Structure 1
Protein backbone atom coordinates (compact mmCIF):
# COMPACT_ATOMS: atom_id res chain seq x y z
CA UNK A 1 0.00 0.00 0.00
CA UNK A 2 1.63 3.15 -1.25
CA UNK A 3 -1.14 5.71 -0.77
CA UNK A 4 -3.48 6.71 2.06
CA UNK A 5 -6.41 5.91 -0.24
CA UNK A 6 -5.21 2.32 -0.59
CA UNK A 7 -4.68 2.08 3.17
CA UNK A 8 -8.17 3.48 3.77
CA UNK A 9 -9.67 0.57 1.83
CA UNK A 10 -7.65 -1.85 4.01
CA UNK A 11 -8.59 -0.17 7.30
CA UNK A 12 -11.71 -1.60 8.98
CA UNK A 13 -14.04 1.08 10.46
CA UNK A 14 -15.29 0.27 13.98
CA UNK A 15 -17.96 1.80 16.20
CA UNK A 16 -18.05 2.33 19.94
CA UNK A 17 -20.37 3.31 22.75
CA UNK A 18 -19.07 5.82 25.30
CA UNK A 19 -19.04 4.92 28.98
CA UNK A 20 -19.83 7.52 31.66
CA UNK A 21 -17.11 9.07 33.80
CA UNK A 22 -15.68 6.70 36.44
CA UNK A 23 -17.93 6.76 39.50
CA UNK A 24 -15.74 8.39 42.13
CA UNK A 25 -15.04 11.93 43.29
CA UNK A 26 -12.74 13.76 40.87
CA UNK A 27 -10.31 16.13 42.61
CA UNK A 28 -8.23 18.56 40.57
CA UNK A 29 -5.02 19.29 42.48
CA UNK A 30 -2.49 22.07 41.93
CA UNK A 31 0.61 21.32 43.99
CA UNK A 32 4.00 22.96 44.30
CA UNK A 33 7.06 22.06 42.24
CA UNK A 34 8.85 21.54 45.58
CA UNK A 35 6.33 19.18 47.19
CA UNK A 36 7.67 15.68 47.81
CA UNK A 37 4.97 14.41 50.19
CA UNK A 38 1.42 15.32 49.16
CA UNK A 39 1.07 12.84 46.29
CA UNK A 40 2.55 10.03 48.40
CA UNK A 41 0.14 10.77 51.25
CA UNK A 42 -2.98 11.07 49.12
CA UNK A 43 -2.15 7.82 47.31
CA UNK A 44 -2.75 6.11 50.66
CA UNK A 45 -6.08 7.86 51.24
CA UNK A 46 -7.80 7.62 47.86
CA UNK A 47 -8.89 3.98 47.68
CA UNK A 48 -11.88 3.75 45.34
CA UNK A 49 -13.59 6.83 46.82
CA UNK A 50 -11.73 9.47 44.79
CA UNK A 51 -9.35 10.08 41.93
CA UNK A 52 -6.80 12.90 41.81
CA UNK A 53 -5.74 14.71 38.67
CA UNK A 54 -2.84 17.05 39.31
CA UNK A 55 -0.40 19.58 37.94
CA UNK A 56 2.33 21.68 39.55
CA UNK A 57 3.11 25.34 39.94
CA UNK A 58 6.62 26.75 40.27
CA UNK A 59 7.89 27.68 43.73
CA UNK A 60 11.40 28.82 44.60
CA UNK A 61 11.31 26.87 47.91
CA UNK A 62 12.17 30.01 49.90
CA UNK A 63 9.97 30.17 53.02
CA UNK A 64 9.33 33.91 52.87
CA UNK A 65 6.02 35.78 52.48
CA UNK A 66 7.30 37.35 49.25
CA UNK A 67 8.20 34.01 47.64
CA UNK A 68 4.96 32.40 48.80
CA UNK A 69 2.89 35.27 47.42
CA UNK A 70 4.61 34.89 44.03
CA UNK A 71 3.09 31.41 43.66
CA UNK A 72 -0.26 33.08 42.92
CA UNK A 73 0.95 34.09 39.45
CA UNK A 74 0.96 30.46 38.27
CA UNK A 75 -2.08 28.90 39.93
CA UNK A 76 -4.67 29.50 37.20
CA UNK A 77 -2.36 28.28 34.44
CA UNK A 78 -1.57 25.15 36.44
CA UNK A 79 -5.29 24.55 37.01
CA UNK A 80 -5.95 24.82 33.27
CA UNK A 81 -3.46 22.00 32.61
CA UNK A 82 -5.40 19.44 34.65
CA UNK A 83 -7.10 16.67 32.63
CA UNK A 84 -8.41 18.66 29.66
CA UNK A 85 -12.02 17.73 28.89
CA UNK A 86 -12.61 15.88 32.16
CA UNK A 87 -14.96 17.62 34.61
CA UNK A 88 -13.71 17.96 38.19
CA UNK A 89 -15.97 17.90 41.26
CA UNK A 90 -13.68 20.02 43.43
CA UNK A 91 -10.37 21.87 43.04
CA UNK A 92 -7.56 21.83 45.61
CA UNK A 93 -4.39 23.87 46.02
CA UNK A 94 -1.58 22.13 47.88
CA UNK A 95 0.20 24.70 49.99
CA UNK A 96 -0.75 25.74 53.51
CA UNK A 97 1.60 28.69 53.95
CA UNK A 98 0.92 30.13 50.48
CA UNK A 99 -2.83 29.95 51.13
CA UNK A 100 -2.27 31.97 54.32
CA UNK A 101 -0.17 34.59 52.53
CA UNK A 102 -2.11 34.82 49.23
CA UNK A 103 -5.52 34.60 50.90
CA UNK A 104 -8.09 31.82 50.86
CA UNK A 105 -10.61 33.58 48.63
CA UNK A 106 -8.02 34.60 46.05
CA UNK A 107 -6.64 31.05 45.90
CA UNK A 108 -10.16 29.66 45.33
CA UNK A 109 -10.83 32.17 42.56
CA UNK A 110 -7.54 31.39 40.82
CA UNK A 111 -8.17 27.64 41.04
CA UNK A 112 -11.68 27.75 39.56
CA UNK A 113 -11.21 30.64 37.11
CA UNK A 114 -11.80 28.40 34.07
CA UNK A 115 -13.33 25.42 35.86
CA UNK A 116 -16.94 26.51 36.21
CA UNK A 117 -18.97 26.75 39.39
CA UNK A 118 -17.30 24.09 41.52
CA UNK A 119 -16.00 24.28 45.11
CA UNK A 120 -12.34 24.74 45.99
CA UNK A 121 -10.18 24.05 49.00
CA UNK A 122 -6.64 24.42 50.28
CA UNK A 123 -4.94 23.11 53.44
CA UNK A 124 -5.49 26.32 55.40
CA UNK A 125 -9.22 26.56 54.68
CA UNK A 126 -9.53 22.81 55.20
CA UNK A 127 -7.69 22.82 58.52
CA UNK A 128 -9.98 25.47 59.98
CA UNK A 129 -13.05 23.55 58.77
CA UNK A 130 -11.61 20.39 60.34
CA UNK A 131 -11.04 22.13 63.68
CA UNK A 132 -14.70 23.20 63.74
CA UNK A 133 -15.85 19.75 62.65
CA UNK A 134 -13.95 18.18 65.55
CA UNK A 135 -15.24 20.80 67.99
CA UNK A 136 -11.76 22.14 68.77
CA UNK A 137 -11.28 25.73 69.94
CA UNK A 138 -7.84 25.56 71.61
CA UNK A 139 -5.21 24.68 69.03
CA UNK A 140 -1.61 23.59 69.49
CA UNK A 141 0.41 24.26 66.34
CA UNK A 142 3.47 22.32 65.22
CA UNK A 143 5.03 24.44 62.48
CA UNK A 144 8.08 23.84 60.32
CA UNK A 145 8.06 27.48 59.16
CA UNK A 146 10.17 30.52 60.09
CA UNK A 147 8.74 33.34 62.23
CA UNK A 148 7.62 35.59 59.33
CA UNK A 149 5.29 32.83 58.12
CA UNK A 150 4.18 31.71 61.59
CA UNK A 151 3.01 35.19 62.57
CA UNK A 152 0.29 35.46 59.87
CA UNK A 153 -0.69 31.84 60.63
CA UNK A 154 -1.18 32.80 64.28
CA UNK A 155 -3.03 36.00 63.37
CA UNK A 156 -5.45 34.32 60.98
CA UNK A 157 -6.26 31.48 63.38
CA UNK A 158 -6.91 33.98 66.15
CA UNK A 159 -9.05 36.16 63.86
CA UNK A 160 -11.07 33.04 62.94
CA UNK A 161 -11.98 32.59 66.61
CA UNK A 162 -9.51 29.90 67.63
CA UNK A 163 -7.15 30.17 70.58
CA UNK A 164 -3.56 29.23 69.75
CA UNK A 165 -2.41 27.87 73.10
CA UNK A 166 1.10 27.01 71.93
CA UNK A 167 3.04 27.26 68.66
CA UNK A 168 6.25 25.30 68.25
CA UNK A 169 8.42 26.17 65.26
CA UNK A 170 11.28 24.37 63.51
CA UNK A 171 12.20 27.57 61.64
CA UNK A 172 13.02 25.78 58.37
CA UNK A 173 13.78 28.19 55.52
CA UNK A 174 13.44 25.91 52.47
CA UNK A 175 10.31 23.97 51.58
CA UNK A 176 12.29 21.01 50.26
CA UNK A 177 13.93 20.60 53.68
CA UNK A 178 10.57 20.21 55.43
CA UNK A 179 10.00 16.81 53.87
CA UNK A 180 13.11 15.42 55.62
CA UNK A 181 11.92 16.09 59.20
CA UNK A 182 12.02 12.74 61.02
CA UNK A 183 9.26 11.12 63.03
CA UNK A 184 11.53 11.19 66.07
CA UNK A 185 11.92 14.96 65.76
CA UNK A 186 8.16 15.41 65.55
CA UNK A 187 7.51 13.27 68.62
CA UNK A 188 10.21 15.07 70.57
CA UNK A 189 8.74 18.43 69.62
CA UNK A 190 5.21 17.37 70.58
CA UNK A 191 6.53 16.09 73.89
CA UNK A 192 7.80 19.59 74.50
CA UNK A 193 4.73 21.63 73.49
CA UNK A 194 1.68 19.46 74.26
CA UNK A 195 1.84 18.56 77.97
CA UNK A 196 -0.13 21.05 80.08
CA UNK A 197 -1.00 23.10 76.95
CA UNK A 198 -4.74 22.54 77.40
CA UNK A 199 -5.06 22.05 73.63
CA UNK A 200 -8.16 20.41 72.13
CA UNK A 201 -6.25 19.44 68.99
CA UNK A 202 -2.79 19.65 67.44
CA UNK A 203 -2.32 21.01 63.92
CA UNK A 204 0.80 19.84 62.11
CA UNK A 205 1.14 22.28 59.26
CA UNK A 206 2.59 21.90 55.74
CA UNK A 207 1.77 19.52 52.88
CA UNK A 208 5.48 18.63 52.67
CA UNK A 209 5.62 17.37 56.26
CA UNK A 210 5.68 13.55 56.25
CA UNK A 211 3.41 13.06 59.24
CA UNK A 212 0.31 11.35 57.83
CA UNK A 213 1.66 7.85 58.55
CA UNK A 214 2.28 8.80 62.18
CA UNK A 215 -1.05 10.47 63.01
CA UNK A 216 -2.58 7.41 64.65
CA UNK A 217 0.54 6.84 66.77
CA UNK A 218 0.59 10.48 67.87
CA UNK A 219 -3.13 10.43 68.73
CA UNK A 220 -2.66 7.27 70.77
CA UNK A 221 0.40 8.63 72.57
CA UNK A 222 -0.98 12.06 73.49
CA UNK A 223 -4.74 11.28 73.47
CA UNK A 224 -5.49 14.29 71.29
CA UNK A 225 -6.86 14.64 67.73
CA UNK A 226 -4.16 15.35 65.13
CA UNK A 227 -4.88 17.26 61.94
CA UNK A 228 -2.19 17.69 59.31
CA UNK A 229 -2.40 19.66 56.07
CA UNK A 230 -2.76 16.60 53.86
CA UNK A 231 -5.40 14.87 55.99
CA UNK A 232 -7.41 18.08 56.35
CA UNK A 233 -7.42 18.90 52.63
CA UNK A 234 -8.48 15.40 51.58
CA UNK A 235 -11.23 15.34 54.20
CA UNK A 236 -12.44 18.80 53.13
CA UNK A 237 -12.31 18.06 49.39
CA UNK A 238 -14.55 15.06 49.96
CA UNK A 239 -16.78 17.02 52.34
CA UNK A 240 -17.32 19.75 49.73
CA UNK A 241 -18.73 17.15 47.33
CA UNK A 242 -21.11 15.79 49.97
CA UNK A 243 -19.02 12.69 50.70
CA UNK A 244 -17.47 11.51 53.96
CA UNK A 245 -13.81 10.51 53.62
CA UNK A 246 -13.25 7.03 55.03
CA UNK A 247 -9.58 6.33 55.72
CA UNK A 248 -9.17 4.12 58.82
CA UNK A 249 -5.78 4.27 60.47
CA UNK A 250 -5.10 7.93 59.70
CA UNK A 251 -6.63 9.65 62.71
CA UNK A 252 -10.04 10.68 63.98
CA UNK A 253 -10.75 13.20 61.23
CA UNK A 254 -10.53 10.57 58.49
CA UNK A 255 -12.31 7.83 60.38
CA UNK A 256 -15.57 9.43 61.49
Structure 2
Protein backbone atom coordinates (compact mmCIF):
# COMPACT_ATOMS: atom_id res chain seq x y z
CA UNK A 1 0.00 0.00 0.00
CA UNK A 2 1.36 3.41 -0.96
CA UNK A 3 0.85 6.18 1.65
CA UNK A 4 -1.11 9.12 0.24
CA UNK A 5 0.18 12.67 0.72
CA UNK A 6 -1.91 15.16 2.65
CA UNK A 7 -1.81 18.70 4.01
CA UNK A 8 -2.97 19.87 7.43
CA UNK A 9 -5.37 22.77 7.93
CA UNK A 10 -3.65 25.42 10.10
CA UNK A 11 -5.33 26.13 13.41
CA UNK A 12 -5.97 29.77 12.51
CA UNK A 13 -7.99 28.67 9.48
CA UNK A 14 -10.43 26.64 11.59
CA UNK A 15 -13.70 28.02 13.00
CA UNK A 16 -13.42 29.42 16.53
CA UNK A 17 -13.72 26.46 18.95
CA UNK A 18 -16.41 26.78 21.61
CA UNK A 19 -17.11 24.21 24.33
CA UNK A 20 -20.45 23.52 25.99
CA UNK A 21 -21.23 21.26 28.95
CA UNK A 22 -24.88 20.16 28.80
CA UNK A 23 -26.92 18.44 31.49
CA UNK A 24 -27.91 14.86 30.74
CA UNK A 25 -31.54 15.86 31.30
CA UNK A 26 -31.46 18.95 29.06
CA UNK A 27 -33.50 18.68 25.85
CA UNK A 28 -33.48 22.35 24.85
CA UNK A 29 -30.10 24.07 24.89
CA UNK A 30 -28.51 22.21 21.96
CA UNK A 31 -31.32 22.88 19.43
CA UNK A 32 -31.45 26.53 20.51
CA UNK A 33 -27.65 26.90 20.32
CA UNK A 34 -27.50 25.38 16.83
CA UNK A 35 -29.74 28.24 15.72
CA UNK A 36 -28.03 30.89 17.83
CA UNK A 37 -24.59 30.17 16.32
CA UNK A 38 -25.75 29.32 12.79
CA UNK A 39 -24.35 32.53 11.27
CA UNK A 40 -21.07 32.59 13.22
CA UNK A 41 -17.69 31.26 12.17
CA UNK A 42 -17.58 28.97 15.20
CA UNK A 43 -17.56 25.25 15.94
CA UNK A 44 -19.49 24.12 19.00
CA UNK A 45 -18.22 21.01 20.82
CA UNK A 46 -20.55 19.47 23.40
CA UNK A 47 -19.99 17.26 26.41
CA UNK A 48 -22.72 15.91 28.69
CA UNK A 49 -22.72 15.81 32.48
CA UNK A 50 -24.75 13.39 34.60
CA UNK A 51 -27.64 15.20 36.29
CA UNK A 52 -30.62 14.24 38.42
CA UNK A 53 -34.07 13.99 36.81
CA UNK A 54 -35.36 16.54 39.37
CA UNK A 55 -33.92 19.97 40.13
CA UNK A 56 -33.13 20.17 43.84
CA UNK A 57 -30.28 21.89 45.73
CA UNK A 58 -28.82 18.48 46.57
CA UNK A 59 -28.88 17.22 42.98
CA UNK A 60 -27.47 20.47 41.64
CA UNK A 61 -24.67 20.51 44.18
CA UNK A 62 -23.75 16.92 43.32
CA UNK A 63 -22.66 18.06 39.86
CA UNK A 64 -19.71 19.92 41.37
CA UNK A 65 -17.71 16.70 41.56
CA UNK A 66 -18.51 15.87 37.90
CA UNK A 67 -17.74 19.12 36.08
CA UNK A 68 -14.01 18.56 35.60
CA UNK A 69 -14.57 15.06 34.22
CA UNK A 70 -17.19 16.34 31.78
CA UNK A 71 -14.89 19.13 30.57
CA UNK A 72 -12.15 16.53 30.15
CA UNK A 73 -14.25 14.82 27.45
CA UNK A 74 -14.08 17.82 25.13
CA UNK A 75 -11.53 17.34 22.30
CA UNK A 76 -8.04 17.85 23.72
CA UNK A 77 -6.49 19.09 20.49
CA UNK A 78 -8.40 22.38 20.66
CA UNK A 79 -7.83 25.61 22.53
CA UNK A 80 -11.28 26.96 23.42
CA UNK A 81 -12.06 30.65 23.30
CA UNK A 82 -14.83 29.97 25.80
CA UNK A 83 -16.52 27.02 27.47
CA UNK A 84 -20.07 27.33 28.75
CA UNK A 85 -21.46 25.26 31.61
CA UNK A 86 -25.15 24.97 30.81
CA UNK A 87 -26.98 25.11 34.11
CA UNK A 88 -28.33 28.29 35.67
CA UNK A 89 -29.46 26.89 38.99
CA UNK A 90 -26.37 24.72 39.60
CA UNK A 91 -24.19 27.75 38.93
CA UNK A 92 -26.07 29.56 41.70
CA UNK A 93 -25.58 26.62 44.08
CA UNK A 94 -21.93 25.84 43.21
CA UNK A 95 -20.81 29.38 42.35
CA UNK A 96 -19.59 30.76 39.04
CA UNK A 97 -15.96 31.02 40.14
CA UNK A 98 -15.93 27.41 41.33
CA UNK A 99 -17.47 26.23 38.05
CA UNK A 100 -14.80 28.08 36.05
CA UNK A 101 -12.00 26.63 38.16
CA UNK A 102 -13.31 23.09 37.72
CA UNK A 103 -13.64 23.44 33.94
CA UNK A 104 -10.10 24.81 33.63
CA UNK A 105 -8.70 21.85 35.57
CA UNK A 106 -9.14 19.63 32.54
CA UNK A 107 -9.87 21.92 29.59
CA UNK A 108 -7.77 24.55 27.82
CA UNK A 109 -10.18 27.51 27.82
CA UNK A 110 -9.55 31.24 27.73
CA UNK A 111 -12.93 31.99 29.32
CA UNK A 112 -15.56 29.99 31.20
CA UNK A 113 -19.11 31.18 31.62
CA UNK A 114 -22.54 29.87 32.60
CA UNK A 115 -26.13 31.14 32.28
CA UNK A 116 -26.07 32.93 35.65
CA UNK A 117 -22.78 34.72 34.96
CA UNK A 118 -24.03 35.48 31.45
CA UNK A 119 -27.37 36.84 32.66
CA UNK A 120 -25.61 39.16 35.10
CA UNK A 121 -23.26 40.32 32.33
CA UNK A 122 -26.23 40.91 29.99
CA UNK A 123 -28.10 42.88 32.67
CA UNK A 124 -25.04 45.02 33.42
CA UNK A 125 -24.42 45.62 29.72
CA UNK A 126 -27.97 46.95 29.31
CA UNK A 127 -28.12 48.80 32.64
CA UNK A 128 -30.80 46.51 34.11
CA UNK A 129 -31.06 46.44 37.90
CA UNK A 130 -34.67 45.41 38.56
CA UNK A 131 -35.54 42.14 36.87
CA UNK A 132 -38.80 40.26 36.75
CA UNK A 133 -37.79 36.62 37.22
CA UNK A 134 -39.78 33.81 35.60
CA UNK A 135 -38.60 30.49 37.01
CA UNK A 136 -39.61 26.85 36.72
CA UNK A 137 -37.86 25.86 39.98
CA UNK A 138 -38.99 24.77 43.42
CA UNK A 139 -38.55 27.39 46.15
CA UNK A 140 -35.29 26.11 47.65
CA UNK A 141 -33.62 26.52 44.25
CA UNK A 142 -35.22 29.93 43.68
CA UNK A 143 -33.79 31.22 46.97
CA UNK A 144 -30.23 30.43 45.86
CA UNK A 145 -30.75 31.94 42.40
CA UNK A 146 -32.28 35.16 43.69
CA UNK A 147 -29.51 35.50 46.28
CA UNK A 148 -26.91 35.20 43.51
CA UNK A 149 -28.56 38.03 41.58
CA UNK A 150 -28.79 40.12 44.74
CA UNK A 151 -25.05 39.74 45.36
CA UNK A 152 -24.53 41.21 41.88
CA UNK A 153 -26.72 44.19 42.75
CA UNK A 154 -29.73 42.99 40.75
CA UNK A 155 -33.13 42.73 42.42
CA UNK A 156 -35.74 40.10 41.54
CA UNK A 157 -38.55 41.32 43.78
CA UNK A 158 -41.04 40.70 40.96
CA UNK A 159 -40.90 36.95 40.80
CA UNK A 160 -42.97 33.93 39.81
CA UNK A 161 -42.34 30.22 39.44
CA UNK A 162 -43.98 27.24 37.78
CA UNK A 163 -42.78 25.21 40.79
CA UNK A 164 -41.83 22.18 38.68
CA UNK A 165 -38.88 20.03 39.78
CA UNK A 166 -38.99 17.40 37.02
CA UNK A 167 -36.68 18.33 34.14
CA UNK A 168 -38.68 16.44 31.50
CA UNK A 169 -41.77 18.50 32.34
CA UNK A 170 -39.83 21.77 32.37
CA UNK A 171 -38.67 21.02 28.82
CA UNK A 172 -42.32 20.66 27.80
CA UNK A 173 -43.75 23.83 29.33
CA UNK A 174 -45.70 25.41 26.47
CA UNK A 175 -44.51 28.66 24.93
CA UNK A 176 -47.82 30.36 25.62
CA UNK A 177 -47.50 29.52 29.32
CA UNK A 178 -44.07 31.15 29.35
CA UNK A 179 -45.37 34.19 27.45
CA UNK A 180 -48.35 34.60 29.78
CA UNK A 181 -46.16 34.39 32.88
CA UNK A 182 -43.60 36.84 31.49
CA UNK A 183 -46.31 39.30 30.42
CA UNK A 184 -47.93 39.20 33.85
CA UNK A 185 -44.65 39.88 35.67
CA UNK A 186 -42.89 42.00 33.07
CA UNK A 187 -45.75 44.49 32.75
CA UNK A 188 -44.91 45.88 36.19
CA UNK A 189 -43.53 49.41 36.18
CA UNK A 190 -41.16 48.25 38.94
CA UNK A 191 -38.98 46.21 36.55
CA UNK A 192 -36.69 47.23 33.70
CA UNK A 193 -36.20 43.75 32.20
CA UNK A 194 -37.38 40.12 32.32
CA UNK A 195 -35.25 37.03 32.84
CA UNK A 196 -36.58 33.58 31.91
CA UNK A 197 -34.46 31.15 33.91
CA UNK A 198 -33.47 27.56 33.02
CA UNK A 199 -31.71 26.18 29.94
CA UNK A 200 -34.46 23.57 29.56
CA UNK A 201 -37.22 26.17 29.01
CA UNK A 202 -38.03 26.61 25.33
CA UNK A 203 -37.80 30.40 25.03
CA UNK A 204 -36.18 31.19 21.67
CA UNK A 205 -39.31 32.16 19.76
CA UNK A 206 -41.03 33.63 22.83
CA UNK A 207 -38.35 36.28 23.42
CA UNK A 208 -38.99 38.48 20.36
CA UNK A 209 -42.74 38.34 21.03
CA UNK A 210 -42.24 39.44 24.62
CA UNK A 211 -39.67 42.11 23.86
CA UNK A 212 -42.00 43.75 21.37
CA UNK A 213 -45.06 43.49 23.61
CA UNK A 214 -43.36 44.73 26.79
CA UNK A 215 -41.01 47.29 25.28
CA UNK A 216 -38.17 46.24 27.57
CA UNK A 217 -35.34 43.67 27.37
CA UNK A 218 -36.41 40.04 27.76
CA UNK A 219 -33.74 37.35 27.91
CA UNK A 220 -33.40 33.73 28.93
CA UNK A 221 -30.69 31.40 30.21
CA UNK A 222 -29.92 30.16 26.69
CA UNK A 223 -30.14 33.62 25.13
CA UNK A 224 -27.80 35.10 27.75
CA UNK A 225 -25.33 32.22 27.59
CA UNK A 226 -25.04 32.29 23.79
CA UNK A 227 -24.74 36.10 23.87
CA UNK A 228 -21.98 35.97 26.50
CA UNK A 229 -20.09 33.16 24.75
CA UNK A 230 -20.11 35.19 21.53
CA UNK A 231 -18.89 38.23 23.43
CA UNK A 232 -16.09 36.26 25.12
CA UNK A 233 -15.05 34.71 21.81
CA UNK A 234 -15.29 38.07 19.98
CA UNK A 235 -17.64 36.63 17.37
Alignment of 1:123-138 (within 5 A): 123-138=115-130
Counterparts of 1:240-251 in structure 2, within 5 Å, are 240-243=232-235
The aligned counterpart of 1:37 is 28
Counterpart in the other structure of 2:157: 165
Q: 1:205 aligns with which of 176, 197, 204?
A: 197
Deviation at 1:146?
0.7
Give structure 2 stretches of 5+ with no counterpart. Answer: none
Which residue in the other structure is 1:154 paired with? 146
**1:16-165 alignment runs, 5 A limit:** 16-21=6-11, 22-49=13-40, 50-116=42-108, 118-165=110-157
Bigger shift: residues 21-30 or 64-73:
21-30
Runs of 5+ in structure 1 lacking a partner?
A: 1-10, 244-256
Q: Post-superposition shift, 1:117?
A: 5.5
Between 1:122-131 and 1:46-55, the stretch displaced more is 46-55
Change in 2 beyond 3 A, CA 1:124/1:30: same
Residues 1:239 and 2:223 aligned together:
no
Q: Which moved more, 1:44-53 or 1:138-147?
A: 44-53
Q: Which structure would you say has the larger Rg?
A: 1
Answer with 185-194 or 208-217: which moved more.
185-194
Structure 1 segments of 4 or more deviating over 4 A?
none
What TM-score comes out, normalization by structure 2 length?
0.95
Q: TM-score, normalised by structure 1?
A: 0.87
Whether the 8 Å contact between 2:113 and 2:228 is mirrored in structure 1 is: yes
- Do the aligned residues in 2 keep the contact of 1:139 with 1:199 (CA within 8 Å)? yes
